[in-house]
Amino acid sequence: MITISHIKTPLAQLVPSLVLWLTLLFSWQGVAIVEAIEPLKKLPTLAEVLKLSAKQYSDGKPSNTVQGMTQSENLLSVKNNYDLILARREQLEISDEVKGHFEKAVSQAEKKYEEGDENISQSAITKLKLGLAGTLNDISQFKSDIELAQLQLEKYLGVQWVQNLDISEPKFDPVNFPHKTVDEFLKNRSTGSKTPKGSGLFELKEAVIAVNKAREQLALAGKNRKMTRALLVTESANYDFGIGNEAELFEALIIYTRVLVGYYEAIHTFNVAVYRFQNIYSEK
C-alpha cells in the first residue's frame, strides 16, 4: 500500500497531473468543466474588442451573456460603450486639470482676502468654490459612467477586468466616415453589396442626417477647442502675476470646461451616429 510518506515527488510536480486527472474524470462523468477567465489588465483596442464580440456568436448562437441580443445589436452596444469609456477618460482628464486651477485660485483668493486685499470680495471666492464644486460633480459623473460602461462590456464581451483597469492606451478619434449621403455611401461599397429599399432606405437617410449634424458640430467644437485653450493659458497666467482677477479666471475656466468636455462629447456623438448608420445598413 502506498502512503503519503512513500511519495518522494515534489507537490508542485504532482498538482498539474492531478488537475488533468480530475478534468478527465469529470469530463467522463459528463460534468461540464468551466474554463477560468483571467481578468484583463488593460482596455484592448477596438479591433480586439470587436473580435471578442464576434466570439459571443461563434457557433451561430448567442452565448449566455448576450441572450436576447442579435449580433448587430451586440456590436452596436459594444462600440457605444467602448467609445463612452474613451470619451469620459478624456473629459475626466480635462476636469482634473480644471479642478487644479480652481483649487489654486480659491487658495490664493482666500489668502488675499485674509490679508485685507480690497480687490477680493467674499462673493468672488464663493463663485470660485461653486466652480470647484461643479467640477468635482463632473469628475464623479465621469468616473461613474466609465465604471458602468466597463460593466456593460464585461457582459457583452464575456470578459472580466481587473479592479483598476488601465484605459490609457487606446486613442479616441472620430471614425473615418466621409460620406454625406446614402447614395455616396452605396457608391463606395464593393460590387455586389446590397441596396436597401423601402423602409430600410428611409431609415438610412434618417441616420445619415444625424451623422451630418454630428459632423458639423464636431468641426465647430474642434475650432473652438484651440481658441479656448489659448484663453485659459492667458487668463491663468494673468491671475498668477496679479494682472487678472477672479471673475476673469472663473469665466475662462467655465468656458474651457464647457468647450473641451463638449469637444469629446461631440466625437462620441459623431461616432455613435456612424455606428447606428452602419448597424441599420447591416440589418437591411
Judged on CB neighbours under 10 Å (0-12, 13-18, 19+), 169 is exposed
The yes-or-no verdict on residue 22 having pLDDT over 50 is: no
Q: What is the pLDDT of residue 119?
A: 84
What is the share, in percent, of the chain residues with pLDDT greater than 90?
59
Each residue's pLDDT tens digit, 72-119: 888 999 999 999 999 999 999 999 999 999 999 999 999 999 998 888
**Domains, the chain, ranges and CATH?**
4-283 (1.20.1600.10)
The yes-or-no verdict on residue 139 having pLDDT over 80 is: yes
**Among the ranges given (2-6, 199-203, 265-269, 276-280), the one the predictor scored with the smallest mean pLDDT:** 2-6
201 in Cβ contact with 208 (< 8 Å): no
136 in Cβ contact with 14 (< 8 Å): no
Q: What is the pLDDT of residue 65?
A: 66
Nearest to 274, CA basis, from 190, 196, 174: 174
235 in Cβ contact with 249 (< 8 Å): yes
Q: What is the mean pLDDT of residues 172-197?
A: 84
Name every residue whose Cβ is closer than 8 Å to that of residue 217 and which is 6 or more positions away in sequence. 266, 269, 270
Q: What is the pLDDT of residue 277?
A: 95
Q: What is the pLDDT of residue 191?
A: 57
Q: What is the pLDDT of residue 199?
A: 77
The yes-or-no verdict on residue 243 having pLDDT over 90 is: no
The residue among 78 and 29 whose pLDDT is bigger is 78
Q: In the beta sheet, which residues pair with residue 166?
A: 42
Each residue's pLDDT tens digit, 143-171: 999 999 999 999 889 899 998 999 999 99
Q: What is the mean pLDDT of the chain?
A: 85
End-to-end C-alpha distance for the chain, whole angstroms: 71
